[in-house]
Amino acid sequence: MSINRKALRKAVKRAVEKLFQEAVDKAVGILKQGGLVALPTETVYGLAADAKNPEAVAKVFAVKGRPSNHPLIVHMGSKEELNEWATDIPEVAWKLAETFWPGPLTLLLRRKPEVPASIVGGHETIALRVPSHPLTLAVLQAFKGGLVAPSANTFGRLSPTRAEHVEQDLQDKVDWVLDGGPCDIGIESTILDLSCTPPAIVRPGGLSAKALAEVLGFLPQESLNAPAAPGSLPAHYAPRTPLLLAEPEELEARAAKLCAQGKKVAVVHTQKITLPENAQWVCLPEDLSQCAHELYALLHELDKQQLDVVLASLPPADGLGSALRDRLVRAANAHTPQVL
Ligand code: TXA
Ligand code: MG
């Protein structure tokens, strides 16, 4: 029997569209009833709930074990929804939204007085973004309202970049994990504070300062006065296995010392180096986008092995590299005292 290729392609497309729509409908149904759905975004998986349902928002805090004064990002289906949440929106916010949304940029703006206090943790600002993963964007547009979505991990732990990371951490505590495949970018969004002058980056992330500079007209600096928030705690994004960091040229000596102490070590670096026999080399891509795409998945993977320590090299502090260094340093801070 000959198969009509064109008809086959059409049938496959229809089947994919049907599955896509079923997934979107299921997610929206759960969210409308106040449930929690882990949703894929281009940065990391988020734990989504109806931003206007205080009980659903409270569940997000409870499931993550997150302190209630740490504010949440509200995810929207379009930039026009900015008006629902923020006030005194400067012209540059619209320009940034036009250029970078949907995408890995979160804007901090003055909140409207009616925004529930539970979302903003007592702050006068609100964090807003439009994510670009097609499934989540479709969920947001069908939901017709904001969804809070912190990274879908227990407070303080590594962010999930694959559905199975969420399942391993929060499986029994969420109503559904929508598997949208591995996250493209793999590192959280850049948070830009537009409520201060000049605008400042309060969390480096998936969008570089250089890219922002093209719209802002100046290179935004990282703010040292960021309000106390999970992403700005010195120890955060932590794997279970202690993580040590070193400049590339120090790696060999550090690895040799750890192995001599009888430690089971994995060395994460872009190039193969001379290592003691019992140390394992794990390759991290040199290209910074690739590196961001793989870093958390790799740390999740290493956490499954019974290692005493992971020794990782620091990427150059350039573009995405500054976000990668930020996450690595915070992840390492969680364990340093135990391994020194
Ligand atoms: O890429 C991302 O941003 C992911 C995906 C799921 O969208 N979300 C994410 O959310 O990383 P979360 O909650 O894990 O981190 C949000 C960060 C926290 O450091 C929080 O304190 C900060 O944003 N934040 C939220 N609202 C804020 C506000 N009003 N003022 C200052 N910081 C705020
Ligand atoms: Mg987080």
CATH number at residue 301: 3.40.50.11030
> CA 307 → CA 60, 165, 236, 275, 296, distances in Å?
31, 19, 20, 16, 16
Q: Residue 268 has what pLDDT? A: 96
In a domain, 15, yes or no: yes
In a domain, 1, yes or no: no
Question: CATH number of the domain that 132 lies in?
Answer: 3.90.870.10
- Closest-lying ligand to the alpha carbon of 107? 1
Q: Residue 225 has what pLDDT? A: 55
Of 216, 235, 259, the domain-final residue: 216
Residue 129 Cα, ligand 1 centroid: separation in angstroms? 10
Two tokens at 53?
Answer: 């349902």
Tokens 């540059």 -> residue: 92
Q: Does 329 lie in the same domain as 194?
A: no
Residue type, 155: F
In a domain, 224, yes or no: no
In a domain, 124, yes or no: yes
Ligand 1: which atom is nearest the Cα of residue 46?
6
Question: Kind and range of the H or E element at 46?
Answer: strand 46-50
Ligand 1 atom 33, closest CA: 71
Alpha carbon 68 to its chain centroid, in Å, reads 19
Residue 20 Cα, ligand 1 centroid: separation in angstroms? 27
Q: Does 157 lie in the same domain as 14?
A: yes
Residue 104 Cα, ligand 1 centroid: separation in angstroms? 12
Q: Residue 237 has what pLDDT? A: 82
Q: pLDDT tens-digit profile of 306-331?
A: 999 999 999 998 889 999 999 999 89
Q: Does 274 lie in the same domain as 191?
A: no
| Contact residues of ligand 1, CB 6 A cut-off | 41, 43-44, 46, 70-73, 106, 108, 120, 123, 125-127, 131, 149-151, 188-189, 191, 203, 227, 229-232
pTM of the predicted model as reported, rounded to 2 decimal places? 0.94
Two tokens at 213?
Answer: 């500079």
Q: Does 210 lie in the same domain as 248?
A: no
Two tokens at 245?
Answer: 């960091």
Q: Which domain holds residue 315?
A: 243-333
- Closest-lying ligand to the alpha carbon of 233? 1
Q: Does 319 lie in the same domain as 190?
A: no
Q: pLDDT tens-digit profile of 210-264?
A: 999 999 999 999 985 555 455 566 677 888 899 999 998 999 999 999 999 999 9
Residue 295 CB coordination number (10 Å): 25
* The total number of structural domains that make up the chain: 2
Between the two ends of the chain, the Cα-to-Cα distance in Å is: 69
| CB distance 31 to 50 below 8 Å | yes
| pLDDT < 50 positions in the chain | 228, 337-340
Q: Does 208 lie in the same domain as 323?
A: no
Question: Kind and range of the H or E element at 125?
Answer: strand 125-129
Ligand 1 atom 10, closest CA: 150
Q: Does 191 lie in the same domain as 326?
A: no
